């Protein structure tokens, strides 16, 4: 059993979180993660209205009596979603954990905490993590360059980013981006994190509410099978490499602006990928961890395997290496 400040703060058995994922973070997956002892997050903006989010929380509670939370990603937009209304739905639903990400979360963090909700803020840079800690976040998720979705613009991989953040952060911190097995969990703990956050790896589980062909594609892909789009627009996003992402990259190299690729990157097209299984229909998120995904287990099988393997590395392999070094010195 691996106990950390993260497991104690959020009342979970294992130091593993399932972060918010557009179109994927639904009740089926979140409840499965919770029942397996991890901390799952419903993705608020996957739900079309705040009322629908409230009902999705209720639906999740029908599947688990374990802790789970809601992800609220705040992004600047010409016509932004009604964030305050989503926030109110989260508060009224009674969940006790929220993962925030994105732009200026101060008012959200303050409101959540006034209602007894613990907040994990996801960051892609040490300076952002320090800022979130100053704002009063209860915990940090530090997101390395390997991640799916938005890795920021600094291009700092986890091996550097995690310990650099650990040097500056005093609140609990979990590591995100490039995690999917026990080796990753053991490494994250060694680097100063108190758990791991996984997205892409949870997509390749039995309970993930996406098409089987997408799950099989994740198994077939290797660590090179991603593209970075929107680089020229300073809004980098890591997605699964396919015909559409390659076209976007090509157009960007030719000087394309967002309006020129908007029809290719529409979120509705990505949703069709998850629902219909045609991985070339649109843009869909996946991280470099694809190279370490070799099967499609249940969430329970996956989480228990990760923890078991991490414990073996920490308790047996490292202890054995230490003993050998001691004997050699003598």
CATH number of the structural domain spanning residue 81: 3.20.20.70
pLDDT in tens, the chain (330 residues): 899 999 999 999 999 999 999 999 999 999 999 999 999 999 999 999 999 999 999 999 999 999 999 999 998 777 899 999 999 999 999 999 999 999 888 999 999 999 999 999 999 999 999 999 999 999 999 999 999 999 999 999 999 999 999 999 999 999 999 999 999 999 999 999 999 999 999 999 999 999 999 999 999 999 999 999 999 999 999 999 999 999 999 999 999 999 999 999 999 999 999 999 999 999 999 999 999 999 999 999 999 999 999 999 999 776 776 666 566 666
**Angle 125-122-229 (CA atoms, 0-180°, nearest 5)?**
70
Please spell the DSSP secondary structure of 264-283, one letter per residue: HH-HHHHHHHHHH--TTSS-
Distance CA 221, CA 289 (A): 10
Please spell the DSSP secondary structure of 156-196, one letter per residue: --HHHHHHHHHTT--S-EEEESS--SHHHHHHHHHHT-S-E
Identify the helix (H) or strand (E) that includes residue 197. strand 196-198
Q: Residue 326's pLDDT is what?
A: 67
Q: Which of 177, 175, 182, 188 is nearest to 307 (CA)?
A: 182
* Total domain count, the chain: 2
Same domain, 230 and 283: yes
**DSSP bridge partners of 18:** 40, 198
Cα 99–chain centre separation: 9
Domain boundary (203, 236, 267) is at 203
Locus of tokens 């360059």: 145
Q: Count of CB atoms within 10 A of residue 243's CB? A: 12
- Please say whether the beta carbons of 105 and 86 come within 8 A: no
- Please say whether the beta carbons of 197 and 10 come within 8 A: no
Distance CA 100, CA 111 (A): 12
Tokens, residue 14 = 């294992």
Same domain, 149 and 218: no
Same domain, 219 and 186: no
Same domain, 195 and 223: no
Distance CA 326, CA 273 (A): 54
Distance CA 18, CA 33 (A): 7
Cα–Cα distance list, 39 to 7, 17, 61, 87, 186 (Å) = 9, 5, 14, 19, 18
Q: Which of 180, 114, 177 is nearest to 150 (CA)?
A: 177
Cα 238–chain centre separation: 13
Q: Residue 79's pLDDT is what?
A: 84
Range of the domain at 103: 5-203
Same domain, 184 and 258: no
pTM above 0.75, yes or no: yes
Q: Residue 327's pLDDT is what?
A: 66
Tokens, residue 72 = 């609220």
* Residue 42 domain flag: yes
Same domain, 168 and 275: no
Q: Which of 236, 238, 210 is nearest to 224 (CA)?
A: 238
Same domain, 14 and 155: yes
**DSSP bridge partners of 197:** 17, 176
12-46 residues labelled b (16+ CB within 10 A) or e (exposed):
bbbbbbbbbbbbbbbbbbbbbbbbbbbbbbbbbbb
Same domain, 193 and 266: no
Same domain, 164 and 86: yes
Same domain, 37 and 151: yes
* Residue 194 domain flag: yes
């Amino acid at each position: 059993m691996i106990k950390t400040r993260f497991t104690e703060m959020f009342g979970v058995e294992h130091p593993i979180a399932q972060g918010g994922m557009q179109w994927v973070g639904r009740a089926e997956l979140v409840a499965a993660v919770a029942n397996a002892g991890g901390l799952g997050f419903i993705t608020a903006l996957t739900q079309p209205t705040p009322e629908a989010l409230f009902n999705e929380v209720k639906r999740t509670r029908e599947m688990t009596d374990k802790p789970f939370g809601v992800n609220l990603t705040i992004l600047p937009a010409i016509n932004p979603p009604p964030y305050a209304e989503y926030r109110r739905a989260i508060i009224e639903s009674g969940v006790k954990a929220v993962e925030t990400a994105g732009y200026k979360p101060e008012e959200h963090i303050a409101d959540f905490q006034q209602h007894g909700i613990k907040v994990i803020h996801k960051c892609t840079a040490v300076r952002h993590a320090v800022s979130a800690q100053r704002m009063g976040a209860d915990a940090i998720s530090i997101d390395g360059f390997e991640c799916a979705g938005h890795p920021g613009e600094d291009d700092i991989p986890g091996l550097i980013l995690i310990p650099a953040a650990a040097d500056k952060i005093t609140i609990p911190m979990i590591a995100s981006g490039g995690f999917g097995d026990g080796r990753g969990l053991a490494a994250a703990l060694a680097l100063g994190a108190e758990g791991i956050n996984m997205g892409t790896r949870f997509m390749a589980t039995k309970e993930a509410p996406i098409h089987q062909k997408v799950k099989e594609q994740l198994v077939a892909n290797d660590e090179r099978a991603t593209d970075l789009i929107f680089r020229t627009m300073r809004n980098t996003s890591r997605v699964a490499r396919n015909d559409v992402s390659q076209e976007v990259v090509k157009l960007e190299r030719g000087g394309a602006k967002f309006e020129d690729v908007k029809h290719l990157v529409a979120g509705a097209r990505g949703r069709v990928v998850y629902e219909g299984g045609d991985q070339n229909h649109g843009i869909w998120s996946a991280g470099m961890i694809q190279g370490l995904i070799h099967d499609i287990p249940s969430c329970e099988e996956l989480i228990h395997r990760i923890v078991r393997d991490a414990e073996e590395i920490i308790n047996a392999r490292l202890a054995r290496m230490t003993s050998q070094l001691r004997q050699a010195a003598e």
